[in-house]
Structure 1
Amino acid sequence: MSDLQRRILITEDNRVLGDVLRFNLQRSGFDVTIAHDGGEAIELLRVQTFDLLITDYQMPNVNGAELCQHIRQNRSLDEMVIIMCSAKGMELNREQLREDWNVATLVLKPFSVREIVAIVNDLLAPTEDTLPVCP
Protein backbone atom coordinates (compact mmCIF):
# COMPACT_ATOMS: atom_id res chain seq x y z
CA MET A 1 0.00 0.00 0.00
CA SER A 2 1.32 3.41 -0.99
CA ASP A 3 1.69 6.08 1.65
CA LEU A 4 -0.55 8.23 -0.54
CA GLN A 5 -3.28 5.60 -0.90
CA ARG A 6 -6.49 7.04 0.53
CA ARG A 7 -8.58 4.93 2.93
CA ILE A 8 -12.34 4.57 2.54
CA LEU A 9 -14.88 3.06 4.92
CA ILE A 10 -18.09 1.82 3.31
CA THR A 11 -20.99 1.28 5.69
CA GLU A 12 -23.66 -0.65 3.81
CA ASP A 13 -25.96 -3.44 5.01
CA ASN A 14 -26.53 -4.70 1.46
CA ARG A 15 -23.52 -7.02 1.11
CA VAL A 16 -23.68 -7.21 -2.69
CA LEU A 17 -23.72 -3.42 -3.08
CA GLY A 18 -20.91 -3.08 -0.55
CA ASP A 19 -18.78 -5.61 -2.44
CA VAL A 20 -19.45 -3.91 -5.79
CA LEU A 21 -18.44 -0.53 -4.35
CA ARG A 22 -15.32 -2.01 -2.72
CA PHE A 23 -14.24 -3.75 -5.93
CA ASN A 24 -14.61 -0.61 -8.06
CA LEU A 25 -12.98 1.72 -5.53
CA GLN A 26 -10.06 -0.69 -5.06
CA ARG A 27 -9.62 -0.79 -8.85
CA SER A 28 -9.38 3.00 -8.68
CA GLY A 29 -6.51 2.77 -6.19
CA PHE A 30 -8.25 3.17 -2.83
CA ASP A 31 -7.82 1.05 0.29
CA VAL A 32 -11.39 0.03 1.17
CA THR A 33 -12.93 -1.48 4.31
CA ILE A 34 -16.59 -2.49 4.67
CA ALA A 35 -18.81 -2.32 7.76
CA HIS A 36 -22.28 -3.85 7.55
CA ASP A 37 -23.95 -1.42 9.95
CA GLY A 38 -23.18 1.79 11.80
CA GLY A 39 -22.20 0.00 15.01
CA GLU A 40 -19.53 -2.00 13.19
CA ALA A 41 -18.35 1.23 11.53
CA ILE A 42 -17.98 2.94 14.92
CA GLU A 43 -15.85 0.04 16.14
CA LEU A 44 -13.62 0.27 13.05
CA LEU A 45 -13.28 4.05 13.49
CA ARG A 46 -11.93 3.46 17.00
CA VAL A 47 -8.96 1.46 15.72
CA GLN A 48 -8.36 2.64 12.14
CA THR A 49 -8.21 5.94 10.29
CA PHE A 50 -10.11 6.71 7.12
CA ASP A 51 -10.15 9.64 4.73
CA LEU A 52 -13.73 9.17 3.56
CA LEU A 53 -16.93 7.44 4.63
CA ILE A 54 -19.62 6.21 2.27
CA THR A 55 -22.65 5.33 4.37
CA ASP A 56 -26.16 4.13 3.75
CA TYR A 57 -28.87 6.09 5.55
CA GLN A 58 -31.11 3.14 6.50
CA MET A 59 -29.29 0.36 8.35
CA PRO A 60 -30.02 -1.90 11.30
CA ASN A 61 -28.63 -1.14 14.76
CA VAL A 62 -26.90 2.23 14.22
CA ASN A 63 -28.25 4.04 11.13
CA GLY A 64 -26.41 6.50 8.89
CA ALA A 65 -27.68 9.58 10.72
CA GLU A 66 -26.52 8.21 14.07
CA LEU A 67 -23.15 7.28 12.56
CA CYS A 68 -22.69 10.80 11.14
CA GLN A 69 -23.63 12.31 14.48
CA HIS A 70 -21.05 10.11 16.24
CA ILE A 71 -18.36 11.14 13.76
CA ARG A 72 -19.03 14.87 14.04
CA GLN A 73 -19.03 14.72 17.85
CA ASN A 74 -15.57 13.12 17.83
CA ARG A 75 -12.83 15.70 17.30
CA SER A 76 -10.41 13.16 15.84
CA LEU A 77 -12.94 12.28 13.11
CA ASP A 78 -14.32 15.76 12.49
CA GLU A 79 -12.47 16.27 9.19
CA MET A 80 -13.61 12.98 7.62
CA VAL A 81 -15.39 13.42 4.30
CA ILE A 82 -18.86 11.84 4.29
CA ILE A 83 -20.97 10.66 1.36
CA MET A 84 -24.51 9.62 2.33
CA CYS A 85 -26.42 7.15 0.12
CA SER A 86 -30.15 6.59 0.41
CA ALA A 87 -33.24 5.28 -1.31
CA LYS A 88 -35.21 7.85 0.72
CA GLY A 89 -34.44 10.75 -1.61
CA MET A 90 -37.73 12.56 -1.16
CA GLU A 91 -37.50 12.35 2.63
CA LEU A 92 -33.97 13.69 3.11
CA ASN A 93 -32.90 17.30 2.88
CA ARG A 94 -29.43 17.77 1.37
CA GLU A 95 -28.93 21.16 2.98
CA GLN A 96 -29.95 19.84 6.40
CA LEU A 97 -27.46 16.97 6.04
CA ARG A 98 -24.74 19.51 5.25
CA GLU A 99 -25.71 21.72 8.18
CA ASP A 100 -26.13 18.95 10.73
CA TRP A 101 -23.23 16.64 9.84
CA ASN A 102 -21.23 18.33 7.09
CA VAL A 103 -22.20 15.60 4.60
CA ALA A 104 -20.32 16.35 1.38
CA THR A 105 -23.02 14.91 -0.85
CA LEU A 106 -26.18 12.81 -0.87
CA VAL A 107 -26.35 10.14 -3.57
CA LEU A 108 -29.74 8.63 -4.27
CA LYS A 109 -30.23 4.91 -4.89
CA PRO A 110 -30.17 3.37 -7.36
CA PHE A 111 -26.93 5.02 -8.44
CA SER A 112 -24.17 4.31 -10.90
CA VAL A 113 -21.03 2.90 -9.30
CA ARG A 114 -19.08 5.04 -11.77
CA GLU A 115 -20.83 8.08 -10.28
CA ILE A 116 -19.64 7.11 -6.78
CA VAL A 117 -16.07 6.53 -7.99
CA ALA A 118 -16.09 9.94 -9.74
CA ILE A 119 -17.43 11.68 -6.62
CA VAL A 120 -14.82 10.00 -4.42
CA ASN A 121 -12.04 10.95 -6.84
CA ASP A 122 -13.24 14.57 -6.84
CA LEU A 123 -13.55 14.74 -3.06
CA LEU A 124 -10.17 13.12 -2.40
CA ALA A 125 -8.25 14.74 -5.25
CA PRO A 126 -4.83 15.85 -4.07
CA THR A 127 -4.56 19.55 -3.38
CA GLU A 128 -1.40 21.62 -3.70
CA ASP A 129 -0.93 21.12 0.05
CA THR A 130 -0.84 17.31 -0.30
CA LEU A 131 1.18 16.98 -3.49
CA PRO A 132 4.69 15.60 -2.98
CA VAL A 133 7.49 18.12 -3.34
CA CYS A 134 10.16 17.17 -5.85
CA PRO A 135 13.69 18.40 -5.17
Structure 2
Amino acid sequence: MKGEDQRPIKVLIAESDQVLADLYRTALEPNGWDVEVVHDGGSALSRIQRSPPDVLMVNGLPDIDAFTLVERVRANPSTHRLVIIVLLDSVSNLDVKRVRKLDVQAWLSKTRTTREELSTTIGRLVGQLVTGQNRDKA
Protein backbone atom coordinates (compact mmCIF):
# COMPACT_ATOMS: atom_id res chain seq x y z
CA MET A 1 0.00 0.00 0.00
CA LYS A 2 1.30 3.44 -0.86
CA GLY A 3 0.56 6.92 0.41
CA GLU A 4 -1.37 9.57 -1.48
CA ASP A 5 1.79 10.59 -3.36
CA GLN A 6 2.44 6.93 -4.37
CA ARG A 7 5.55 6.57 -2.21
CA PRO A 8 5.79 3.60 0.15
CA ILE A 9 4.19 4.09 3.55
CA LYS A 10 6.92 4.92 6.08
CA VAL A 11 6.77 3.12 9.42
CA LEU A 12 9.12 4.03 12.26
CA ILE A 13 9.50 1.39 14.96
CA ALA A 14 10.83 2.74 18.26
CA GLU A 15 11.70 -0.42 20.19
CA SER A 16 14.66 -1.04 22.49
CA ASP A 17 14.60 -4.83 22.06
CA GLN A 18 16.50 -5.70 18.86
CA VAL A 19 14.87 -9.13 18.53
CA LEU A 20 11.34 -7.72 18.77
CA ALA A 21 12.22 -4.86 16.43
CA ASP A 22 13.46 -7.38 13.86
CA LEU A 23 10.26 -9.44 14.24
CA TYR A 24 8.12 -6.35 13.69
CA ARG A 25 10.18 -5.32 10.66
CA THR A 26 9.89 -8.83 9.21
CA ALA A 27 6.11 -8.75 9.67
CA LEU A 28 5.69 -5.33 8.04
CA GLU A 29 8.15 -5.16 5.13
CA PRO A 30 6.30 -7.75 2.98
CA ASN A 31 3.48 -5.19 2.74
CA GLY A 32 5.77 -2.94 0.71
CA TRP A 33 6.20 -0.49 3.57
CA ASP A 34 9.45 1.38 4.22
CA VAL A 35 10.28 0.28 7.78
CA GLU A 36 12.97 1.91 9.92
CA VAL A 37 13.95 0.96 13.48
CA VAL A 38 15.40 3.12 16.25
CA HIS A 39 16.28 1.89 19.72
CA ASP A 40 16.04 5.01 21.90
CA GLY A 41 13.83 8.04 22.35
CA GLY A 42 16.43 10.59 21.27
CA SER A 43 16.88 8.81 17.95
CA ALA A 44 13.11 8.50 17.53
CA LEU A 45 12.50 12.21 18.11
CA SER A 46 15.39 13.18 15.85
CA ARG A 47 14.18 10.88 13.06
CA ILE A 48 10.59 12.12 13.38
CA GLN A 49 11.71 15.76 13.15
CA ARG A 50 14.02 15.11 10.20
CA SER A 51 11.54 13.14 8.12
CA PRO A 52 8.22 12.30 9.77
CA PRO A 53 6.99 8.76 9.12
CA ASP A 54 3.38 7.95 8.30
CA VAL A 55 3.14 5.56 11.24
CA LEU A 56 5.02 5.45 14.55
CA MET A 57 5.07 2.21 16.54
CA VAL A 58 6.45 2.85 20.01
CA ASN A 59 7.24 0.89 23.12
CA GLY A 60 9.12 1.87 26.26
CA LEU A 61 12.65 2.99 25.46
CA PRO A 62 15.72 3.21 27.69
CA ASP A 63 15.76 7.01 27.82
CA ILE A 64 12.03 7.84 27.60
CA ASP A 65 8.77 5.98 28.13
CA ALA A 66 6.28 5.57 25.30
CA PHE A 67 3.77 7.92 26.93
CA THR A 68 6.25 10.80 27.15
CA LEU A 69 7.44 10.23 23.58
CA VAL A 70 3.85 10.33 22.30
CA GLU A 71 3.13 13.50 24.31
CA ARG A 72 6.14 15.20 22.70
CA VAL A 73 5.12 14.11 19.21
CA ARG A 74 1.54 15.33 19.76
CA ALA A 75 2.76 18.68 21.16
CA ASN A 76 4.66 19.47 17.95
CA PRO A 77 2.43 21.09 15.28
CA SER A 78 4.39 19.43 12.46
CA THR A 79 3.89 15.91 13.85
CA HIS A 80 0.70 16.06 15.90
CA ARG A 81 -1.34 14.22 13.21
CA LEU A 82 1.06 11.28 12.95
CA VAL A 83 -0.56 7.82 13.16
CA ILE A 84 0.71 6.27 16.40
CA ILE A 85 0.49 2.73 17.72
CA VAL A 86 1.64 2.09 21.29
CA LEU A 87 2.88 -1.38 22.16
CA LEU A 88 2.14 -2.09 25.81
CA ASP A 89 4.18 -4.54 27.88
CA SER A 90 1.07 -5.19 29.93
CA VAL A 91 -2.50 -4.17 29.37
CA SER A 92 -3.22 -2.98 32.88
CA ASN A 93 -6.12 -0.63 33.56
CA LEU A 94 -3.65 2.13 34.41
CA ASP A 95 -1.76 1.74 31.12
CA VAL A 96 -4.96 1.63 29.07
CA LYS A 97 -6.35 4.74 30.81
CA ARG A 98 -3.09 6.56 30.23
CA VAL A 99 -2.80 5.59 26.57
CA ARG A 100 -6.43 6.59 25.87
CA LYS A 101 -5.58 10.15 26.89
CA LEU A 102 -2.76 10.34 24.33
CA ASP A 103 -4.79 10.41 21.09
CA VAL A 104 -3.19 7.31 19.61
CA GLN A 105 -4.85 5.30 16.89
CA ALA A 106 -4.17 1.90 18.45
CA TRP A 107 -2.58 0.20 21.39
CA LEU A 108 -1.58 -3.42 21.29
CA SER A 109 -0.29 -5.90 23.84
CA LYS A 110 3.31 -6.69 23.06
CA THR A 111 2.91 -10.21 24.42
CA ARG A 112 -0.51 -11.06 22.98
CA THR A 113 -0.47 -9.50 19.53
CA THR A 114 0.53 -11.74 16.64
CA ARG A 115 2.55 -10.50 13.69
CA GLU A 116 -0.55 -10.90 11.53
CA GLU A 117 -2.66 -8.78 13.90
CA LEU A 118 0.04 -6.12 13.94
CA SER A 119 0.21 -6.06 10.15
CA THR A 120 -3.60 -5.98 9.85
CA THR A 121 -3.91 -3.12 12.35
CA ILE A 122 -1.31 -1.03 10.57
CA GLY A 123 -2.87 -1.86 7.20
CA ARG A 124 -6.26 -0.66 8.43
CA LEU A 125 -4.80 2.55 9.84
CA VAL A 126 -2.75 3.17 6.71
CA GLY A 127 -5.87 2.61 4.63
CA GLN A 128 -7.62 5.28 6.67
CA LEU A 129 -4.60 7.54 6.21
CA VAL A 130 -4.64 7.10 2.44
CA THR A 131 -8.41 7.58 2.12
CA GLY A 132 -8.50 10.44 4.62
CA GLN A 133 -10.98 8.72 6.93
CA ASN A 134 -11.27 9.74 10.54
CA ARG A 135 -8.76 8.23 12.88
CA ASP A 136 -10.29 5.55 15.09
CA LYS A 137 -8.95 3.72 18.11
CA ALA A 138 -8.25 0.01 17.76
Normalised-by-shorter TM-score class: 0.7 to 0.9
Query: Root-mean-square deviation (CA), in Å?
Result: 1.8
Aligned counterparts of 2:103 and 2:76: Cα–Cα separation in 1: 13
Aligned counterparts of 2:71 and 2:132: Cα–Cα separation in 1: 30
Decide which moves more: 89-98 or 117-126: 89-98
Cα separation, partners in 2 of 1:22 and 1:92, compared to 1, 3 Å: farther
**Equivalent position amino acid for 1:27 in 2:** P
Q: Which is greater in Rg? A: 1
Percent identity between the two aligned chains: 26
Aligned counterparts of 1:37 and 1:109: Cα–Cα separation in 2: 17
- 2:32 alignment counterpart: 29
SS of the residue corresponding to residue 13 of structure 2 reads strand
SS of the residue corresponding to residue 11 of structure 2 reads strand
For residue 115 of structure 1, the aligned residue among 96, 114, 117 is: 117
Aligned counterparts of 1:68 and 1:53: Cα–Cα separation in 2: 9
Deviations 1:17-56 (A, max 9, x none): 1011112211111101111022210011121121110001
Which runs of no fewer than 5 residues in structure 2 stay unpaired?
134-138
1:105 aligns with 2:106: yes
Q: TM-score, normalised by structure 2?
A: 0.83
Q: How many residues align?
A: 126
